[in-house]
Structure 1
Amino acid sequence: MTVRRRAARSAAACAAFAVLCVAAAPSTASAAPAAPADTPPLPAGMYGTTDPTYDGVWRQSLAMLAQRAVNVMPADSAVNWLLGQQCDSGAFPAYRPDATKPCDATTVVDTNSTAAAVQTLAALMKYPDAMNNGISWLASAQNKDGGWGYSAGAPSDANSTALVIGALAAGGAPVGTRLSTEGRSPYQSLISFAIPCDAKEGGGAFGYQPDKSGKLLPNADATAAALLGGVGKRMVTTGVEPGPAPVCQDLHPLTPERAARNGASYLVKTMAKTGHLDQPPMPGAEDSAPLPDYGNTADAVVALTTAGYGDQATASMKWLEKNSADWAKANGPAAYAQLIFAAHTTGTDPRTFDGIDLVKALNATGPTPKWIGPKPLTTTEQQKVLADQKAERHSMSGNVWTMGIGAFAALVICALFVLRARRRRS
């Protein structure tokens, strides 16, 4: 989920077109909007410097998730700020400026902020009560069709449903058996947004939600999210051994995994020409040409690599390394986090990301980390360690066999000497 779309959907929840435009603007490489002049100073534990009204908990969660992925422990003040945002119900709002005031009917909570916070609390591994409280609220917000909308009671959408699936998986909650009041699972809801392979437009993709006529339009953002959710993974994950390129197959019935792999085929085809995904132009923009969508491209790289299509994501990862620096700098902590997620999944070193230290840049957007541990091994380094260990075990077993033969031979020789000595005495 991109920085732009997350902020835009938060603003859309407030039904203000003007706010939507402001919230969506950070997706470009231009400077992110500064907080309004009358906005009070941000708490010391927060990441970023822009107005957190629509993405405070989101960017805080992604920043700390990325730090844990690279063996960095966030500051206590950062963790405490996130914990302080949680309502007694377990839900999280996008931002609550006065955490000393209890949540009430006017507090606008949402599934996206809550799911992101739950994944972060799971990664911190120290706050099971807060995490489980968040999972309980998410369960209470599940729609009859098995999915989730952006807010409780809103119609289900592919992005929110996939994000909550990741939160449930991170918290150890069974996803497939998390049934709605009508007995439908999150996966059943997720595949309802899948577009058939033989469709004239966007075959294999996922739509965000059906339009007024009930038609699903291909949406790369929703497809990347659904691919990750379809294989039951969270935002921070690791890649698997690459396999053959994805193909689109219409199976009946359609399984969650098949739908996810169909989505992978759509993403690969969409990114084949340029190496990246595009975002539509903003309403009223003079330039109608599509712009590169850095965040969704990073999300697609994570999803594809996680599903075993790392070879097809290589070109996009290289494109991100060469082109995303200005975008990340302009958009702050959540953008740096998305790039770190992509680097982590593909085994790329985020500390030498085309000459940029993403970890250092992310750390600088918030409070000084509590500690910075040893640099985690890349996927390639991990594979080499495993290969060396296997070779060492093989060598040791060979040495043990050799030593055993030598010891047996020594015993035989010793026995011959004893027998010979006895014969001489006799």
Structure 2
Amino acid sequence: MNVRRSAAALAATAVLATAAPAVAASPSPSPSTAVPDGLYGSADPTYDGVWRQSLTLLAQREQGVEPAATAVDWLVGQQCANGAFPAFRADPAQACDAKVMVDTNSTAVAAQALAGNDKAVSKALAWLRSVQNTDGGWGYTEGGASDANSTSVVIGAFRSAGRSVTEVEKDGHTPSDALLELALPCTGDGAGAFAYQPGKKGELTANADATAAAVLSAFGGQPGAVVPGADQASTSCAKPGDLTRAARNGAAYLVGAMGEDAHLMSALPGSEDQPDFGNTADAVVALSAAGFTSEAAASARWLAANSLEWAGQSGPAAYAQLVFAARAAGLDPRAFGGEDLIALLDATGPKPASVPAAKGTGAAGDKEKDKKEDEDGGGVGVWWIVGVGLVGGIGIGFLLSGRTRKRQP
């Protein structure tokens, strides 16, 4: 679910991935906007406040943690009267007006995080339905061209509310139809992948983060709900006649993109070759959901050995992404690379109302085992993307921030 949002101009630029608003601002020790009580993370929340809060609540609840009431109340208070959510608004007491930039990614991920709050979720889903494009998909903002990331994170929102995406249609087109239009054929560069959006001439370019988002949306749509199953996937590519087939092709593409090193590399223009921790975490969840369990486990072990410094710099959304990846791969989030991800996540904001006691899998002996596996796996220099990236949705989108979403081949 990695993320940050971008300003309005960037929001229109397609970037990779998932579920979050379009741009990214790097965490800053001295945010220009004060961090309100109840919000997780210390970085400027202007571009990712709702996104990182939502991912945090999703990860906490998935691990049996009852979030602080102030944290839930803060997120509920970000919703506008029409049901939509912006990336962040500093004064929730003021009604939303035309200057408040609401978006599909923030709205969809918040709807997932607020499951159980029927009023807030119903209003959010109603707004999402009202801005659905005629091709069945969603763009980052109302009226924007459909993209794989935004469409995928919105699918996750409807599925978390128990809604079938086949009944969420516009002019006879469903969200699955929109995603299929972005699936690459089984020949040529990027065979089997998904594009973020078509290019200016209608061409489709493989995008790893958009692919991970689309794959997850086809097999459940909710990052925190994925657990490893029987390893039954094939890396063969077949004509994508339906979204399930296209998603399996996409998963096979991700396996190839991760390669023997079991992780994705950044494709941010102008950057040096560096690991992309956030997109790798999203890919782990997607691969596990599609049945590529052994490949997902290998990448999760790589993350356990190499990603903790990145997560510490990036904040709560990054920790949440690692929680999702660990669970999806069958690893213990409380003993991940020798650290307790849940404790690290909880420490970034208000104290949770309750936290379950760590069980046997988090025992010292298991941590020593994890440490040994990490040492065997080797390490890499830590790189933290601070550039702008179009998150688009969670994607799911999966979710959704700890990383910047950028256009990626």
Q: TM-score, normalised by structure 2?
A: 0.82
Is 2:332 aligned against 1:344?
A: no
Mapped to 1, the partners of 2:235 and 2:55 lie a distance apart of 31
Mapped to 1, the partners of 2:268 and 2:142 lie a distance apart of 30
Partner of 2:235: 247
Partner of 1:129: 119
Aligned with 1:261 (options 233, 244, 248): 248
Partner of 1:390: none
Partner of 1:67: 60
Give the SS at the match of 2:166: coil
Q: Write the mapping of 1:260-409 to structure 2, written as runs, cut at 5 A.
A: 260-283=247-270, 288-375=271-358
Displacement after TM superposition at 1:250 (Å): 3.1
Displacement after TM superposition at 1:357 (Å): 1.0
Aligned with 1:211 (options 169, 181, 199): 199
Partner of 2:29: 34
Is 2:150 aligned against 1:160?
A: yes
Mapped to 2, the partners of 1:324 and 1:118 lie a distance apart of 28
Report if aligned partners of 1:245, 1:312 keep a CA contact under 8 Å in 2: no
Partner of 1:225: 213
Is 2:40 aligned against 1:51?
A: no
Report if aligned partners of 2:233, 2:290 keep a CA contact under 8 Å in 1: no
Could you tell me which amino acid in structure 2 is paired with residue 75 of structure 1? Answer: A
Q: Write the mapping of 1:93-132 to structure 2, written as runs, cut at 5 A.
A: 93-122=86-115, 125=116, 127-132=117-122
How many residues align? The count is 353
Partner of 1:183: 172
Give the SS at the match of 1:308: coil
Displacement after TM superposition at 1:139 (Å): 0.8
Displacement after TM superposition at 1:344 (Å): 1.6
Report if aligned partners of 1:10, 1:94 keep a CA contact under 8 Å in 2: no
Displacement after TM superposition at 1:115 (Å): 0.6
Mapped to 2, the partners of 1:376 and 1:196 lie a distance apart of 46
Is 2:87 aligned against 1:82?
A: no
Q: TM-score, normalised by structure 1?
A: 0.79
Give the SS at the match of 2:225: coil
Report if aligned partners of 2:230, 2:291 keep a CA contact under 8 Å in 1: yes
Report if aligned partners of 1:10, 1:55 keep a CA contact under 8 Å in 2: no
Q: Which of 232-241 and 51-60 deviates more? A: 232-241
Report if aligned partners of 1:93, 1:110 keep a CA contact under 8 Å in 2: yes
Displacement after TM superposition at 1:116 (Å): 0.5
Mapped to 2, the partners of 1:135 and 1:334 lie a distance apart of 23
Displacement after TM superposition at 1:246 (Å): 2.5
Mapped to 2, the partners of 1:377 and 1:158 lie a distance apart of 40
Displacement after TM superposition at 1:296 (Å): 0.7
Displacement after TM superposition at 1:323 (Å): 0.2
Displacement after TM superposition at 1:245 (Å): 3.6
Report % sequence identity. 50
Mapped to 2, the partners of 1:139 and 1:205 lie a distance apart of 27
Which is richer in helix? 1
Report if aligned partners of 2:195, 2:206 keep a CA contact under 8 Å in 1: yes
CA RMSD in angstroms comes to 2.0
Mapped to 1, the partners of 2:359 and 2:102 lie a distance apart of 35
Structure 1 residues 350, 48: closer, same or farther in 2, change over 3 A?
Answer: same
Higher-Rg structure is 1
Structure 1 residues 105, 371: closer, same or farther in 2, change over 3 A?
Answer: same
Report if aligned partners of 1:194, 1:206 keep a CA contact under 8 Å in 2: yes
Report if aligned partners of 1:242, 1:305 keep a CA contact under 8 Å in 2: no
Partner of 2:16: none
CA deviation map 1:170-214 (0-9, x unaligned): 01122112110x11001011111100011x100000000011111
Q: Which 5+ residue runs of structure 1 have no aligned equivalent? A: 16-21, 27-31, 379-426
Displacement after TM superposition at 1:347 (Å): 2.2
Report if aligned partners of 1:10, 1:54 keep a CA contact under 8 Å in 2: no
Mapped to 2, the partners of 1:98 and 1:92 lie a distance apart of 13
Report if aligned partners of 1:204, 1:259 keep a CA contact under 8 Å in 2: yes
Mapped to 1, the partners of 2:12 and 2:147 lie a distance apart of 17
CA deviation map 1:314-337 (0-9, x unaligned): 211110000001100000000000
Displacement after TM superposition at 1:278 (Å): 1.1
Report if aligned partners of 2:38, 2:349 keep a CA contact under 8 Å in 1: yes
CA deviation map 1:43-74 (0-9, x unaligned): 11000011100000000000111000111011
Could you tell me which amino acid in structure 1 is paired with residue 326 of structure 2? Answer: A
Could you tell me which amino acid in structure 2 is paired with residue 152 of structure 1? Answer: E
